Amino acid sequence: MTRRRVGLFLTEEEKFDVIIVGAGPAGSACAYILAREGKSVLVIERGDTPGAKNVTGGRLYTYALELLDQGLHEEAALERKVIREQIMMLSGDRAITIDYHDPSFNEEGRPPMSYTILRGVFDEWLAGKAEEMGAMVACGIRVDELIERDGRIVGVVAGEDEMYADVVIAADGVNSFMAQRAGLIEDIKAETVAVGIKEVIELPAKTIEERFNLREGQGAARLILGCTEGIHGGGFLYTNKDSISLGCVFMPEEAGQKKKSVHEIFQDVKMHPSIYPLIEGGETIEYGAHLVSEAGFRGIPKKLFREGFLMVGDAAGFVINTGYSIRGIDLAIVSGIAAARAVIGAEGTAAAGPLYMEELKKIKLLPTMQAQDGFSDILETAWLYDKVPDLAADVFENLFTVTGEVPGSVKKDVMRLIRSNDLSAWQFIKLGFKGMRAL
Amino acid sequence: MSIDRMSAPELLGLNRFNVDEEEPHIIIDKEICRRCAEKPCLYVCPAVLYKLDKNGEMSFDYAGCLECGTCRVMCKNKGIIKWAYPRGTFGVSFRWG
Ligand SMILES: Cc1cc2nc3c(=O)[nH]c(=O)nc-3n(C[C@H](O)[C@H](O)[C@H](O)COP(=O)(O)OP(=O)(O)OC[C@H]3O[C@@H](n4cnc5c(N)ncnc54)[C@H](O)[C@@H]3O)c2cc1C
Ligand code: SF4
C-alpha cells in the first residue's frame, strides 16, 4: 500500500481525472467506483491512516455497502450486526429501557440491516478497497487550497505541492474548508451542529453478549434521552466486537449557556446507575470528539458544485438525525457513489455538477432527506430533552409502586404528573400535531 | 483499572498524539478572550483545554486537541485568531474512532 507521505510534484499535463480530498466513507466510496470504472484517482487524506481523524457513533446501514458492490459487507471491517434497537430514557437515577427485537431485520439470505463499526478500522478497510480498484490513497497530507483557472477548479495545493485534476471532490467532512475555499458555503454556524464525545471501552466479547442478551456476532444499538441536563442532544451506546462505544451529543450553544463542561456531563452519564453496570470492569482505551451536522435537509447548501468541483458526504450536509437514529455514514457512501456516476457519465467538466444533482435524486438521497426533514421541527422542542424523560419515569413510578395504600385514579395521576412537570396537555397536543405534519 | 469518572487529562493520556511543536494549529488572542463575557470555550471543549488561570486569564494548550472544531464554531468574539487542522501527520490519531 502507498500509505506514505509522498512528495507529489505534478505538472498540469500529468493531471489525474479526479482528486478527492478526504478518505472518509464518502471519499473512499467515490474513489472505489471511479477507479473501478477506469478513472485515475488520487485520494488525499490528512490523517496518518484513513480513519485516524474520524469519530462516529456508530453504526452503518448495510444497504449503502451493497450499493457500492454486492456482497461487500461480507468482507467488510464491521463489528456486530445490530439485532437490538434500544431507546433509553434517564430521569435522575431512574431509567426506562425499550428494547425492540425484530428477526425480520436479520433474515437469512439477506444482508443484515445494520452493523456497528469503529471508524479507525472501517475507514482503513474501505480506503484499501478503493486502492485495490486502482485508486491512489496518499495519507498524512493536508490539502490547503484549491487551484482555480478561469472560474474553474483545476487542482489542489498541499504544502509545497500542486496537484491537478479535471474534477476535485470535497469529501473533507463537516468542517469542510474545501467547500469554503470554493465559495459554496460560509463558516459553519454553531446552531447547525452538535458536538459528539465518546469513550471506547474495552470489554470481553462474552461479557458484552451476556449483558446485552446477544449471541456471538450480534449487537445492540442504544439511544439515550434525558442524559444531557436539558441540553438538546442525547447519548448513544453501541456494542462492538470487544468494546463498547459510549458517547453523548450536545448542542454546543446551549452547553455554553449552561456553564457546565460537556466533558463533566458525559462523565455523569457514564456513572449513571443504569449505565455503569453495562461497562463495569471494562477499560477506556480512547477518548474522541467530532462535530455532526444537525440541520438536515434544510441545512444542505444551496449549491453543491462548481465547474470542476463537487461536494459529498458531510461536506454537503448529508446527515439525517431523527432523534432515535442518526445516519451519515450511509449517506456519505451513497453520495460518493452518486458523484462518481456523475463524473463518469458527464461529457465535459461543466456537465458533472448538474448530473450529480440528478444522480443524488435517482439514488434516493435527496428525497430521503426531504421526507425526514420534519424531524428537525420535532427535535426543536426544548422539553423533549428533560421533561419528557422525567414525565415518563414519573408515570412508570406511579404504575409500578405498590405500598398497600389505596391507589388513585391513573388518569388523574397522569394529569397531575403532567402539571407537576410544568407541562400542559395542550403542549402534547401541539407536539402530536407537529409530529403528524412532520411525518 | 476499571470504569470510573476520569478527568480530561487522564482521558487524553489514552490517545495517540503527535504534537506539532513548530506550528500550533490553534492560536488565541488572550486580550480578546479577557474582554469576552461568555467564554463558551470553557464548557464546550470536550478536551477541556480552555481554562482560566489564577489571575482569571485564559490559558490554552493545543497539545491535547481532538480537532473537533467546537471551539471554533462557538467563538463569537474571534479570540481564536487561527484555527486550522494540524499539518499532515500531526495531531491526534484515533485507533478506534
Ligand atoms: C458522535 C457522532 C455519532 C455519529 N453516529 C453515526 C451513526 O451511528 N451512524 C451514521 O451513519 N452516522 C453517524 N454519524 C455521522 C457520520 O459520522 C458522518 O456523517 C460521516 O462520518 C461522514 O462521512 P464523510 O466521509 O462525509 O466525512 P468524514 O468521515 O468526516 O471524512 C472526512 C475525511 O476528510 C479528511 N480531511 C478533512 N480535511 C482534509 C484536508 N484539508 N486535507 C486532507 N484530508 C482532509 C479527514 O481527515 C477525514 O478522513 C455520527 C457523527 C458523530 C459526530
Ligand atoms: S477543536 Fe475541539 S478539542 Fe480542540 S480545542 Fe477546540 S473544542 Fe477543544
pLDDT band at residue A410 using 50, 70 and 90 as cut-offs: confident
C-alpha cell of residue B46: 470536550
Identity at B30, one-letter amino acid code? K
List % helix, strand, coil for chain B (3-state, nearest 5).
Answer: 25, 20, 55
pLDDT tens digits, A100-123: 999 999 888 899 999 999 999 999
C-alpha cell of residue B85: 487542522
Query: Is the pLDDT reported for residue A22 higher than 80?
Result: yes
What's the B91 CA to ligand 2 centre distance in angstroms?
11
Asked if A50 has any chain B CB less than 8 Å from its own CB, the reply is: no
Q: In Å, how far is A303's CA from the nearest CA of chain B? A: 22
Domain count, chain B: 1
Q: In Å, how far is B95's CA from the nearest CA of chain A? A: 5
**Residue A174 pairs with which residues in a beta bridge?**
none
- The residue ranking higher by pLDDT, A437 or B30, is B30
Beta carbons within 8 Å of A366's beta carbon, 6+ residues apart:
A297, A357, A360
Residue B71 CA to residue B60 CA, distance in Å, equals 11
Give a three-class secondary structure readout of chain A.
Answer: CCCCCCCCCCCHHHCEEEEEECCCHHHHHHHHHHHHCCCCEEEEECCCCCCCCCCCCCEEECHHHHHHCCCHHHCCCCCCEEEEEEEEEEECCEEEEEEEECHHHHCCCCCCCEEECCHHHHHHHHHHHHHHCCCEEEECCCCCEEEEECCEEEEEEECCEEEEEEEEEECCCCCCHHHHHCCCCCCCCHHHEEEEEEEEEECCHHHHHHHHCCCCCEEEEEEEECCCCCCCEEEEEEECCCEEEEEEEECHHHHHHHCCCHHHHHHHHHCCCCCHHHHCCCEEEEEEEEEEECCHHHHCCCCCEECCEEECHHHHCCCEECCCCEECHHHHHHHHHHHHHHHHHCCCHHHHHHHHHHHHHHCCHHHHHHHCCCHHHHHCCHHHHCHHHHHHHHHHHHHHCCCCCCCCCHHHHHHHHHHHCCCCHHHHHHHHHHHHHHC
> Any idea which of A41-55, A222-236, A284-298, A411-425 has the lowest mean pLDDT?
A411-425
> Any idea which of A34-48, A279-293, A318-332, A403-417 has the lowest mean pLDDT?
A403-417
C-alpha cell of residue B56: 482569571
pLDDT tens digits, A51-102: 999 999 999 999 999 999 999 999 999 999 999 999 999 999 999 999 999 9
Query: Is the pLDDT reported for residue A347 higher than 70?
Result: yes
SS3 category, B68: coil
The parent domain of residue B30 ranges over 3-93
Identity at B84, one-letter amino acid code? A
**Confidence at residue A10, expressed as pLDDT on a 0 to 100 scale:** 60
What's the A189 CA to ligand 1 centre distance in angstroms?
18
Q: What is the DSSP letter of B95?
A: S
pLDDT tens digits, A214-261: 999 999 999 999 999 989 999 999 999 999 999 999 999 999 888 889
Query: Is the pLDDT reported for residue A4 higher than 60?
Result: no
Q: A234 in ligand 1 pocket by Cβ < 6 Å?
A: no
Asked if B69 has any chain A CB less than 8 Å from its own CB, the reply is: yes
> Any idea which of A143-152, A153-162, A294-303, A422-431 has the lowest mean pLDDT?
A422-431
The protein residue whose alpha carbon is closest to atom 5 in ligand 1 is A57
- First-to-last alpha carbon distance for chain A, in angstroms, is 47
Beta carbons within 8 Å of A361's beta carbon, 6+ residues apart:
A367
Query: Is the pLDDT reported for residue A425 higher than 80?
Result: no
pLDDT tens digits, A126-163: 999 999 999 999 999 999 999 999 999 999 999 999 99
Q: A80 in ligand 1 pocket by Cβ < 6 Å?
A: no
Mutate to test the interface with B, among A117, A177, A195 (most CBs of B within 10 A): A195
Q: A41 in ligand 1 pocket by Cβ < 6 Å?
A: no
What is the CB neighbour count within 10 angstroms for residue A347? 8
**Confidence at residue B52, expressed as pLDDT on a 0 to 100 scale:** 95
List of domains in chain A: 15-79+117-185+301-363 (3.50.50.60), 191-293 (3.30.9.90), 377-438 (no CATH)
> Given A5, A189, A262, which is nearest B43 (Cβ)?
A262
Which H or E run includes B16?
Answer: strand B16-18
**Confidence at residue A11, expressed as pLDDT on a 0 to 100 scale:** 67
CB under 6 Å to ligand 2: residues? A 289; B 26, 45-47, 49, 65-71
Largest CA distance in chain B: 43
- The residue ranking higher by pLDDT, A50 or A418, is A50
Instruction: Give this prediction's pTM.
Output: 0.95
CATH code of the domain covering residue B64: 3.30.70.20
Mean pLDDT (whole number) for A5-16: 65
Q: In Å, how far is A391's CA from the nearest CA of chain B? A: 28
